[in-house]
């Protein structure tokens, strides 16, 4: 467990360094699970405040142990717009390729798997809220360290 925590710290530092180089990133936030265990009733809430109306890419990233038993995780995401309008959608976040190989970047027993949920979506200026909950049959998903939401601004070339 200590090695996993040390690996998590190293992975977090590397992620911060890499993401700080991405000038299109307007929001990146992660919430941790208790003891590598994502409980179904643990809904993660993210509240990005977008400073301009533009096109954005929406990404949910899972930081998990590289020996996680799941190939994919079903989630429900509720998006509350600045107007108060709510939209709820179900997604499947793929962690492994069909051959069993991890999709994300693994380092020291941990793997970061970004999952692009929406590309080039129009989001208005203001406070948005994203609530992420897993919808798997099991109540507790072991091996999940953190859940994050990332928003990148789409820049025309």
pLDDT tens across 31-77, in order? 999 999 999 999 999 999 999 999 999 999 999 999 999 999 999 99
**pLDDT range class, residue 22, cuts 50, 70, 90:** low
Number of helices (H) and strands (E) in the chain: give both, helices first: 1, 13
State what percent of residues in the chain have pLDDT above 90: 82
- Counting Cα atoms < 13 Å in the Cβ hemisphere of 157 gives 0
State what percent of residues in the chain have pLDDT above 70: 85
Helices marked H in the chain: 2-20
Q: What is the mean pLDDT of the chain?
A: 89
pLDDT tens across 130-153, in order? 999 999 999 999 999 999 999 999
Q: How far apart are CA 110 and CA 105, in angstroms?
A: 8
2-153 carries CATH number 2.60.120: yes
**pLDDT range class, residue 3, cuts 50, 70, 90:** low
- Residue 132 CB burial class (10 angstroms; 0-12, 13-18, ≥19): buried
**How far does Cα 65 stand from its chain's mean position?**
15
């Amino acid at each position: 467990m200590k090695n996993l925590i040390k690996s998590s710290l190293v992975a977090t530092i590397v992620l911060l360094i890499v993401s700080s180089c991405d000038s299109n990133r307007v929001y990146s936030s992660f919430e941790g699970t208790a003891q590598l265990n994502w409980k179904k009733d643990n809904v993660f809430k993210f509240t990005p405040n977008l400073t301009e109306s533009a096109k954005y890419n929406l990404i949910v990233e899972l930081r998990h142990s590289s020996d996680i038993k799941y190939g994919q995780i079903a989630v429900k995401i509720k998006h509350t717009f600045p107007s108060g309008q709510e939209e709820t959608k179900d997604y499947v976040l793929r962690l492994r390729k069909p051959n069993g190989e991890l999709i994300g970047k693994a380092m020291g027993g941990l793997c970061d798997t970004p999952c692009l949920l929406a590309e080039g979506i129009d989001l208005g200026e203001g406070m948005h809220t994203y609530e992420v909950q897993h919808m798997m049959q099991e109540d507790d998903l072991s091996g999940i360290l953190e859940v994050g939401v990332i928003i990148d601004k789409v820049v025309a070339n």
